[in-house]
Amino acid sequence: MKRMTGLAIALLLLVSTVSVGAQNVQKPLEITFWSLFTGGDGEFFDAMVKEFNASQNEIVMKTDTVKFDNYYTKLTAALAARTAPDVVVMHQDRLSTFVPSGVLLPLDAYAQRAGIDLSTFEQAPLNNCKIDNKLYAIPLDVHPIIMYCNLDLFAKAGITKLPETLSELFTAAETIQKKTGAEGIAADNTTATYKAYTLTRMFLSMLMEQGVSVFNADNTKANFNNDAGVKAYQALSDMVNKYKVTPKGLDYDSSVADFRLGKAGIHFNGVWVTGLFEQQPGLNFIAVKFPALFGTNAAWAGSHTFAIPAQKSIDEKKVMGAMKFIDWMTNHGYLWAKAGHVPTRKTAVDTKEFKSLPHRADYADAAKYVFPTPPTSKWPQCYDTISDSLEESIALNRDAKTALTRMEQTINEILKK
């Protein structure tokens, strides 16, 4: 009897010590997030999250990838119901859809508390995340439209300088077509799996290179039916209709495939295809920022940002955990650059890891020239409409004035609603 009691007491002590010990070991804080990255982007991002989780014990990030097409539907519904995860990836151009209804937290104070030095960010993309002077998101990257050139085809055509002005661009393209038989410029101009967004991105860039913004200051009217718009539209139309350096009816997937298979000399697209081209054996190319076709540099860019949804009750621990995650991710932007994107944090660009990546350093300066898309919730519809309109006008070879007037009418109708 006594022995049993003794044993029992010993066991009890053992168990209680163990359980107290177990309580002392902190369970890592679980932070949930949604990311919209799929395919190659998705793989790189997931790898980074894994590395973050492995690098420390306090926070573990849990993710859930959503098909890109539906991401904003789910996100919007979740934000409205206040059931969104702790941190979300969001395109910069969507911020103006969400911020006015107060579903995202302003981050200035949290960034300060988390010790994130905002001056280490490239200011242009960071400022694009501010609405009414408050910071609502932190940019992870900018992915501008850039120019890819097939160096072998350039050499074969006897071109030694990369085109910088509009006339140089067309001359180079024509020469490539004549001397090598390859396509001059692979730029998509028809809808297939995707709309002809490249046309819109080039149009916006060319407008901004002339100092003109696509909408007026308060986003109530279109601002492109003018000299600058005419020059921009004409350039695009000439590319297809006058100089015929871009085939008609070329869709996005085909334009990427053409450049990848060495069938095109020049390709305009976002930085995200760099990874794809790198893996193509035998493709000898260079990637540089979008040329200053009208004198100054400007490039359309999307930007992936991190934002923190408003919850029913703010859990400070989770918000600070999310800020820590954001800090780490942006500082390790050179890992994200593997997907082709340009890191927004100067501290990430200034690393030997980033500099050792092929091509990325060549266009990293594109981040300086990015401009925001009009901060209006009607932008998604306008973006689609401009793409359709440009596609149609170029396909039907309309003159600039007619094309722009039509587009202006349609856009103004939408902005009015």
Partner 1 sequence: MLLHGADHKKRDILFFSLPYLTVYVAFMVFPVVYGFYLSFFDWNILSTKVFVGLKNYVEAFSDPEFLSSFFHTIQFVVISTPLIIVVGFIMALIAVRPTKTGRISETVFFLPYMLSTSVVGTLWAWIFQKNYGLANQLLKSVGLSPLGWLTDPSIAMTSIIIATLWWTAGFNMILFSAGMKQIPEEIYDAAKIDGAGSFTTLTKITIPLLRDTSLLVLVLQIIASFKVFGQVYVMTGGGPYGTTRVLVQYVYKTGFSYFRLGYASAMSILLFMVILLVSVIQFLRKPDETQ
Partner 2 sequence: MKKPFDILGKLFIVFLIVLWLAPLIWLVITSLKSENTVMSDTLSLVFTPTLENYRKAFASTLLGRWMLNSLTVAVVTTILTVLIDSAMAYVLARIPFRGRKALFIFILAGMMIPFEVLIIQLYLEFTTLGLANTLAAVILPRLALPIGVFILTQFFRSIPLVLEEAAFIDGASRFTVFRTIILPLSKSAVFAVAIIAFINAWNDFLWPLVAISSSEKYTITVGIANFQGTHGTEYSLIMAGALLASVPQIIMYLLFRKNIVKSIAMTGIKE
Q: Is residue 67 a contact point for partner 2 (CB under 8 A)?
A: yes
Size of the site for partner 2 (CB under 8 A): 22
Which of the stretches 20-28, 31-39, 52-60, 385-393 binds partner 1 when contact is defined by CB under 8 A?
A: 385-393
Chain-centre distance for alpha carbon 246: 25
Q: Identify which of 201, 69, 208 has the alpha carbon closest to the alpha carbon of residue 144.
A: 201
Shortest reach from residue 290's CB to partner 1, in Å: 24
Can you tell me the distance from the alpha carbon of 129 to that of 370, in angstroms, rounded to the nearest whole number? 12
Judged by CB under 8 A, which of 261, 314, 361, 396 binds partner 2? Answer: 261
- Residue 66 C-beta: closest distance to partner 1, Å: 13
Which of these segments, 72-80, 141-149, 209-217, 377-385, binds partner 2 (CB under 8 A)?
Answer: 72-80
Q: Which does 392 bind (CB under 5 to 8 A by kind): partner 2, partner 1, none?
A: partner 1
Beta-bridge mates of residue 171: none
Please report whether residue 410 would count as binding partner 1 according to CB under 8 A: yes
Q: How many CA atoms lie within 13 A of 82 on its CB side?
A: 9
Residues 134-173, one symbol each (x = binds partner 2 by CB under 8 A, - = not), give: ----------------------------------------
Cα–Cα dist 237/115, whole Å:
50
Q: Could you give the count of Cα atoms lying within 13 Å of 146 in the half-sphere of its Cβ? A: 30
Is 64 a binding residue for partner 2 by CB under 8 A? The answer is yes
Among 289, 356, 275, residue whose Cα is nearest residue 41: 275
Distance CA(56)–CA(76), nearest Å, equals 32
- Using only C-alpha atoms, the chain has a radius of gyration, in whole angstroms, of 25
Least separation, in Å, of the C-beta of 47 and partner 1?
Answer: 30
- How many Cα atoms are found within 13 Å in the side-chain-facing hemisphere of 362? 18
Tell me which of partner 1, partner 2, none is bound by residue 256, counting a contact when its beta carbon lies within the kind-specific cut-off of 5 to 8 angstroms.
partner 2
**Of 196, 136, 134, 144, which is closest to residue 389 (Cα–Cα)?**
196
- State the Cα–Cα distance between residues 54 and 48, nearest whole angstrom: 10
* Minimum distance of partner 1 from residue 275's CB (angstroms): 24
Kind plus residue range of the DSSP H or E element containing 306: strand 304-307
When binding is defined by CB under 8 A, the residue of 3, 24, 25, 69 that contacts partner 2 is 69
Question: For residues 87-126, which are near partner 1 according to CB under 8 A?
Answer: 97-98, 100-101, 103
Closest approach of partner 1 to the CB of residue 19, in Å: 46
Q: Check binding of 194 to partner 1 (CB under 8 A).
A: yes
What span, in angstroms and rounded, lies between the C-alpha atoms of 272 and 265? 18
> Least separation, in Å, of the C-beta of 389 and partner 1?
7
Q: Does 181 bind partner 2 (CB under 8 A)?
A: no
Locate 276 and state its tokens: 């794809």
Q: Is 389 in the site for partner 1 (CB under 8 A)?
A: yes
Of 71-79, 94-102, 220-228, 307-315, the window that binds partner 2 (rule: CB under 8 A) is 71-79
Question: 364 near 350, Cβ under 8 Å?
Answer: no
H helix runs in 81-160, sequence order = 95-98, 108-113, 123-127, 151-156
Alpha helices in 181-268 (DSSP H): 197-209, 227-237, 252-260
Identity of the residue, 241 or 254, whose beta carbon is nearer to partner 2 in the bound complex: 254
Q: Is 73 in the site for partner 1 (CB under 8 A)?
A: yes
Cα separation values, 292 from 223, 289, 342, 369, Å: 21, 9, 19, 10
Is 262 a residue that touches partner 1 (CB under 8 A)? Answer: no
Q: Does 38 bind partner 2 (CB under 8 A)?
A: yes
Residue written as token pair 């046309």? 199
Give the torsion through C-alpha atoms of 394, 400, 406, 411, to 10 deg.
90
Closest CA to 395 of 252, 273, 235, 247: 247
Least distance in Å: CB of 122 to partner 1? 30
Q: Quick one: 65 or 213, whose CB is closer to partner 2?
A: 65
**Smallest separation, CB 254 to partner 1 (Å):** 7
Among partner 1, partner 2, none, the one that 395 touches (CB under a kind-dependent 5 to 8 A) is partner 1
Interacting residue with partner 1 among 164, 174, 251, 365 (CB under 8 A)? 251
CB count, 10 Å around CB of 377? Answer: 15
Closest CA to 88 of 110, 109, 108, 103: 103
Interacting residue ranges for partner 2, rule: CB under 8 A: 38-39, 64-71, 73-74, 77-78, 81, 193, 252-254, 256-257, 261
Interacting residue ranges for partner 1, rule: CB under 8 A: 70, 72-73, 76-77, 79-80, 97-98, 100-101, 103, 190-196, 249, 251, 254, 377-378, 380-381, 384, 388-389, 391-392, 395, 410, 413, 417
